[in-house]
Structure 1
Amino acid sequence: MKKNIIKTFRKSNITKGLFAAALLLASNIVFAQSGGAGAITTATSDIEAYVEPVSNLVQMIGAVVGIVGGVRIYNKWNNGDQDVNKELIGWGGACIFLLLVPTVIQAFFGI
């Protein structure tokens, strides 16, 4: 009888120890997650700070590409080149793309 009580006591202590260790590890995981939320918030605010300058830069690049492409098409047209229509469609598509990208980026980030 006395041996059964000692075995039960030992099993009970082992169970309590394992439960305490599991609880301690679970609480450490919860504490570890709190820093990640702050890092995500910081990263979001950093990215939002870059959206406006990048969109302005893309619009400026689009303006330069548009002017250069317009001059190329004008020269081809005056020289009587037969590929003017294909060049014009490609140039127009590139200009529309470069004008829409900053708008889409700002809409994506909610700015």
Structure 2
Amino acid sequence: MKQWREKIKWTTLFVLCALAVRAQDGNAGIQDANQKVRSYFQSGTQLMYAVGAIVGLIGAVKVFNKWNAGDHDTGKVAAAWFGSCVFLVVVTTVIRAFFGI
């Protein structure tokens, strides 16, 4: 029984020493992650603006096709597509303002 205690004591000591050597500064890790996420924001916002432009073009073509087909419900469809484009732009702007970028 005494030998097991001795083995457990040395194993625990070894594990704790290994953990102390591998320990990192948590604040530095958080700052590094923050910097990496912020570095992607410019590309992400440009991507969101591009997606908004594509959605706007698709919506314009769909509304134009409905209008040429003689459908009288083009106003509702146009408002829905326009609203989705505005939503993408507003969300991107709000996220940029929220994170101070």
TM-score, normalising length from structure 1? 0.66
1:47 to 37, 45, 49: 37
- Check if 1:91 corresponds to 2:43: no
Q: Which has the larger radius of gyration?
A: 1
- Check if 1:76 corresponds to 2:60: no
Contact 1:56–1:102 (CA<8 Å) still a contact in 2? no
Structure richer in helix, relative to its length: 1
For structure 1, list consecutive stretches of 5 or more residues without a partner in the other structure.
1-31
> In the aligned structure 2, how far is the partner of 1:49 from the partner of 1:104?
17
Identity %: 43
| Total equivalences in the alignment | 79
RMSD between aligned alpha carbons? 1.3
Query: Once superposed, which parts of structure 1, at least 4 consecutive aligned residues long, lie more than 6 Å away?
Result: none
Q: Which amino acid aligns with 2:39?
A: A
> In the aligned structure 2, how far is the partner of 1:56 from the partner of 1:105?
13
TM-score, normalising length from structure 2? 0.72
